[in-house]
Structure 1
């Protein structure tokens, strides 16, 4: 039992935490691109605000566009208004904490809006996906900038 406890203590594999946020309704649209979100349940990303409102996105890429330019997209809301942010994990299709997710860029898997940040709950999952789907780059939420998102839209993954 002690050995198992030590292994868990020194294990570098940290998984993104599942989050429980409201699902999109059939009429919810992405505030960035205007697409209906519910048909793309394997790509859904959600922001839940402290006041109970939510914003839904058709992928992590549009979620991060929103987060990196809230004055443009969020109608006066601020980062401090946010209670939770989730993205759909590629392999198990459950909502996980967006800040802890690991994203693969430049793969042969496209989202509803083309090249996408494909979320994974662990580094191991991201590495496996990158190998299996010809991914070019693995990033964390802290690496995601407007310039990276613009490059992704243009099919550049450097």
Structure 2
């Protein structure tokens, strides 16, 4: 009896030691990898509480980029309109760069246009007139395009980051028409996206999120 009890006690102690070693290893591994960039799957959905005051990211002279050039989206950058993380949506992202080189990043073109329509609504002291460069991601390649030169598609079946209608952007009319042939919609230039277009997209995409 005594031998059996001692054996069971030894097995339990060995099991506990093994579990502790495994947990310690996982903790150390997490600590080593915690600083690495997170790359979400393509179907990832970001659902976060809106962030009403988002400070623009300052220009970094050490980046090697021009003060008004498009720049990579920081992993921690949040959209000033909805609070989502634009770096998770490279096919939809947009950015505005102000005269001093500071930048705001957006998870989609709709949010960029909403911001430009009424920046003060989102807790910023910046005015739309302070924006000297506007960029949107090419929906096909993810490359940055000048928003003023891009062709947008309104009414596409492609759903934006908030799973609502948005404005996928393309480098030229040919690429936009190829998308329309598959997903439907209407091609619009930057100047055609007026307050009425923005209001309709805002209501369809953000009605349940923005109050």
Please state which band the TM-score falls in when normalised by the shorter chain: 0.7 to 0.9
Matched, 1:120 2:170: yes
Q: Which residue of the other structure, out of 102, 108, 111, is the alignment partner of 2:160?
A: 111
Secondary structure of residue in 2 paired with 1:85: strand
User: Could you tell me how far apart the structure 1 residues matched to 2:95 and 2:116 are?
Assistant: 11
User: Could you tell me how far apart the structure 2 residues matched to 1:24 and 1:118 are?
Assistant: 18
Paired position in structure 2 for 1:129? 179
User: Could you tell me how far apart the structure 2 residues matched to 1:38 and 1:92 are?
Assistant: 15
1:125 CA drift (Å): 0.9
CA RMSD across the alignment: 1.9
With structure 1 as the length reference, what TM-score do the two structures score? 0.79
With structure 2 as the length reference, what TM-score do the two structures score? 0.60
User: Could you tell me how far apart the structure 2 residues matched to 1:102 and 1:73 are?
Assistant: 26
Q: What pairs up with 1:76-155 in 2 under 5 angstroms? A: 76-113=125-162, 114-135=164-185, 137-154=186-203
Paired position in structure 1 for 2:99? 50
User: Could you tell me how far apart the structure 1 residues matched to 2:106 and 2:85 are?
Assistant: 8
Q: Which one has more relative contact order, counting CA pairs under 8 Å at least 6 apart?
A: 1
Does the CA contact (< 8 Å) of 1:42 and 1:93 recur in 2?
Answer: yes
Greater gyration radius: 2
Higher strand share: 1
The number of aligned residues is 137
Paired position in structure 2 for 1:32? 81
Does the CA contact (< 8 Å) of 1:115 and 1:153 recur in 2?
Answer: no
Higher helix share: 2
In structure 1, the gaps of 5 or more residues are 1-18
User: Could you tell me how far apart the structure 1 residues matched to 2:147 and 2:89 are?
Assistant: 17
